[in-house]
Amino acid sequence: MLLSGADIIVKTLIEQDCDVVFGYPGGQIIHVYDSLYKYQDQLRHVLAAHEQGAVHAADGYARATGKVGVVIATSGPGATNLVTGIATAYLDSIPLVAITGNVFSSQLGSDSFQEIDITGITLPITKHNYVVGSADELHDVIREAFTIAKSGRPGPVLIDVPKDIQIGKAEVEFSCAVQPTPQQAAKDIRISEAAECINACQRPYIYFGGGMISGGAQSEMLRLAELIDAPIGCSFMGLSGIPTDTPGFLGMQGMHGHYASSMAMHKADCIIAMGVRFNDRVTGNRAKFVRGAKIVHIDIDGAELSKTVTAHHGLRGEIKLTLEKLLPLIKESKKPEWRSAVQNIVAEEHANADTREGMTPKNVLELLNGYLGAKTPVATDVGQHQMWAAQYIRFQDTLRFISNGGLGTMGFGMGAAIGAAIGTGERSVLVTGDGSFGMCLNEMATAVHENVPLVVLIMNNGVLGMVRQWQTLFFDGHYSNTVLDRKTDFVKLAEAFGAKGARAATMEELEDAFKAAFSCDGPFVIDCLIEKDEFVLPMLPPGGSMDDIIVKLGD
């Protein structure tokens, strides 16, 4: 059928099983918005307060559903406002398609009003991007963009559509949604070498990240752990990959990881890593990281193998398929000595547990745990509250932890929590801090307008806590620009946006606030007051090793 470029864009999104898009209109994308109006019964558009909120919402939608998130913005500032969100998705390998308008092709390169070279700007933060040259190629370009976004290691793709392409007409035949490009297992010889290494080891440790989740390799990984009697740890991005109470699961390792998980990894003689990238927050000082251990590294992206840490056995391939081939080569073996050593480490962690009463981060989040359903998406922003959430929130189902690990984007949470709630149809929770919430709180307007069931828990300590923690530890308590001392009343703010809110200064008040929040139809903000000198512990100082770990203050 003969359609305008704008109609082709919207109809192709519908063809790709897209049920909701997030965005913000503007002059150079107005034709697409006209088509969204025309097809509004088939494709829901959620209007954000700011393009950054829209792209984070599309990202949160993608993280919570496993589908491709879609965001639409106009040219110039609309496009540049997407940049932080696209970079966030890129660093965490989240499938996203961003569609931007641009000026007429004939005006490109002439510094027209609201013209920007968004493909140039997003070159290093997209898997691929396009400037569409004619309406004829639009359908194929969008289909290819979806294929790239969800194939192999997922990631964001941007399509820049000049205005004349939106107006121009082309013949299109629609079909069905594209499938990810089929991937292969690692080479047999690499798998059998890795199997030998695993069969010979005494102290194995299985370490997974976001790639294991997107690869859906949970059951194969758990089978491997059972066969070789290995404890399991994960990276930040691996959280919610398996239920928190899975036997043998030690939780997140790394800079603020669980002591037992980091220590077991440190003492292991063989680390079987899958879908991880060994970044600096994971390894600390690389020269001292897991010395003596053999590393078996499975990843769909060959460029991750030996990128930062030498993989003795680098297995490039789809994780699930590779594990399926690996499992028959693995000899079942019980390792009572290693098991009891790990149990001792876990006991050490328990002995150092925070047992204080009152409004400690741990108590706040453990109370929250009681209100979380198996399917509740929990989003966070970035900072201390994020690490506390990573440590204390208990997950029962996958894709429930909606948090950005790679870029560390404060302000991510509001949009992401909205996108996760809309994508899953579940009430979502945002655990945030007063600093992060301040960055993108304008999206409260979106949550209210869309009547999103959303509990915003602001762990309000009046400071930029994570930076302050570093200033306490490494800068002699010079609290440079980290004391907020703002007069914002978050309860009144919630009410001003048309939402509800409550303040909690005690655990009793918090309990009441949770009861009200989790029975509220729309968004509910809890201003939860905590001490400004709460620390995230344990902590591996930046560039440090397990020898430098700070378990308790005063260590």
Partner 1 sequence: MQDFTLAVLVQNKFGVLNRVTSLFRRRRFNIASLTVSETESPDYSRITVSSTGEDVMKNQLMDQLYKLSEVVSITELDSETISCELLLIKMRNTPETREDIRAAAEAFGALTVDYTRDAMMFRVTDDSHRIDRFIELMRDYTILEICRTGIVALERGSKTIIQNDMK
Q: Summarize as ranges the residues that interact with partner 1 (CB under 8 A).
A: 119-120, 123-124, 127-128, 131, 148, 153, 301-303, 305-307, 310
Instruction: Report the distance separating Cα 264 and Cα 233, nearest Å.
Output: 9
Instruction: Report the distance separating Cα 391 and Cα 253, nearest Å.
Output: 10
Q: For partner 1, which is the closer residue by CB, 28 or 122?
A: 122
Q: For partner 1, which is the closer residue by CB, 153 or 163?
A: 153
Catalytic residue list contains 459? no
Dihedral over alpha carbons 512, 515, 520, 523 (to 10 degrees): 70
Give me the residues paired with residue 104 across strands.
none
Question: For residues 67 and 38, is the Cβ–Cβ distance under 8 A?
Answer: no
Burial of 66 (0-12, 13-18, 19+ CB in 10 A): middle
Q: Least distance (Å) from partner 1 to the CB of residue 177? A: 20
Give me the residues paired with residue 526 across strands.
457, 502
Q: For partner 1, which is the closer residue by CB, 116 or 263?
A: 116
Question: For residues 210 and 236, is the Cβ–Cβ distance under 8 A?
Answer: no
3-class secondary structure for 56-85?
HHHHHHHHHHCCCEEEEECCCHHHHCCHHH
Identify the active-site residue in 11, 16, 28, 51: 51
The single-letter code of the amino acid at 21 is: V
Q: For partner 1, which is the closer residue by CB, 74 or 122?
A: 122
Q: Least distance (Å) from partner 1 to the CB of residue 128? A: 4
Catalytic residue list contains 212? no
Q: Least distance (Å) from partner 1 to the CB of residue 406? A: 15
CA 5 to chain centre: 33
Count of CA atoms in the C-beta half-sphere (13 A) of 506? 2
Q: In sequence order, which residues have a C-beta less than 8 Å from that of residue 165 and are 6 or more positions away?
A: 5, 105, 132, 133, 134, 135, 138
Task: Give 283-286's long-range contacts (Cβ < 8 A, gap of 24+).
Answer: 283/308, 283/309, 284/255, 284/540, 284/541, 284/542, 284/543, 284/544, 284/545, 284/546, 284/548, 285/543, 285/544, 285/545
Q: Least distance (Å) from partner 1 to the CB of residue 300? A: 11
Q: Quote the longest CA-to-CA distance of the chain.
A: 72
Identify the active-site residue in 1, 40, 42, 113: 113
Q: For partner 1, which is the closer residue by CB, 121 or 520?
A: 121
Identify the active-site residue in 11, 67, 163, 294: 163
Helix, strand, or coil (residue 467): helix
Instruction: Report the distance separating Cα 485 and Cα 488, nearest Å.
Output: 9
Burial of 153 (0-12, 13-18, 19+ CB in 10 A): buried
Q: For partner 1, which is the closer residue by CB, 128 or 223?
A: 128
Question: For residues 120 and 160, is the Cβ–Cβ distance under 8 A?
Answer: no
Q: For partner 1, which is the closer residue by CB, 300 or 393?
A: 300
Q: Least distance (Å) from partner 1 to the CB of residue 196? A: 23
The single-letter code of the amino acid at 376 is: T
Instruction: Report the distance separating Cα 98 and Cα 116, nearest Å.
Output: 15
Catalytic residue list contains 113? yes
Q: For partner 1, which is the closer residue by CB, 183 or 396?
A: 183
Q: Least distance (Å) from partner 1 to the CB of residue 86? A: 15
Instruction: Report the distance separating Cα 539 and Cα 69, nearest Å.
Output: 34
Give the DSSP per-residue string, 358-397.
SS-HHHHHHHHHTT--TT--EEE-SSHHHHHHHHH---SS
Q: How many helices (H) and strands (E) does the chain have?
A: 23, 20
Q: Least distance (Å) from partner 1 to the CB of residue 26? A: 24
Q: For partner 1, which is the closer residue by CB, 65 or 279?
A: 279
Q: Least distance (Å) from partner 1 to the CB of residue 306? A: 6
**Is the Cα torsion angle 447, 451, 453, 457 positive or negative in sign?**
positive
Catalytic residue list contains 450? no
Catalytic residue list contains 51? yes
Identify the active-site residue in 466, 497, 518, 546: 466
Identify the active-site residue in 38, 104, 107, 114: 114
Q: For partner 1, which is the closer residue by CB, 153 or 294?
A: 153
Q: For partner 1, which is the closer residue by CB, 24 or 146?
A: 146
Count of CA atoms in the C-beta half-sphere (13 A) of 425? 1
- Angle (CA) 221 545 274, round 5°: 15
Q: Least distance (Å) from partner 1 to the CB of residue 485? A: 39
Q: Least distance (Å) from partner 1 to the CB of residue 87? A: 12
Active site residues: 51, 113-114, 163, 466
